[in-house]
Structure 1
Amino acid sequence: HVLFPQRFHKPHHLWKIATPFASHAFHPVDGFMQSLPYHIYPFLFPLHKVTYLGLYIFVNVWTISIHDGDYRVPRLLRHIINGSAHHTDHHLYFDYNYGQYFTLWDKIGGSYKSPTAFEGKGPHDYLRKLREKGLGVPNGTLDTKTE
């Protein structure tokens, strides 16, 4: 992330453990900037309005799905599809797994990180470490927002 986008995208990362509600919890400028490619594309490559609406729905469902904590991806595709496990690590560490759908550009750009959930670790281990340091999530709550 360069400084300008980071300033507006970072509030989305207040949720260290992503949830479907966190998927759409972002700064308005960040939401606008992320939506631009989807709105510019039809001017360059005209689409039928039903196709455009279908793609809009798909993007929203995908956005929710990568924030839902369901790490199930076929083993063959785990290192190709940028699913929920990859995106959870993006929320935890911020400097990895930027891709929207695939991991190719993260691998090329050096920002790919194999998800800790695939290594038998995961976000709850991270929360435990925060609690031990006296940071973040208090014991006994489901609040995933950290300071």
Structure 2
Amino acid sequence: MAITLIDLPYPKEALEPHISSRTLDFHHGKHHNAYVVNTNNLIKGTDLENADLETIIRKSATDPAKAGLFNNAAQVWNHAFYWQCMKPGGGGAPTGAVAKKIDAEFGSYAAFVEAFKTAGATQFGKCCFCGLCRLGRPVS
């Protein structure tokens, strides 16, 4: 089973002015696609050639000999998740239970945003949620 590049769940212009269609086209069509191509090249002729993405990630995660495969496959998943996390007109501070948890853990939404930016900037692939765990603030 070849790993495929997912379609964006919205038109490329839909996130402007926050993310330009040019940036989205580059990030999705070239950057994300490169991880897809690399993953497919790395699984070709192996026992993972017909596996789904999650299986590839699980089976390569703890094998140092498959670190390159893990990094590429995980980035395919990360990017697919990333596209699903955005929507036209989205954003802003959360409400309800999520807002209460953020206030309890960080003091305010603004403080959370700063911690998120700082943690994310130091992670490979900019996995901010992992960075918050490293700060001793597990996401729960």
Q: Do they superpose with TM above 0.5? A: no
TM-score by length of structure 2 reads 0.27
TM-score by length of structure 1 reads 0.26
Higher helix share: 2
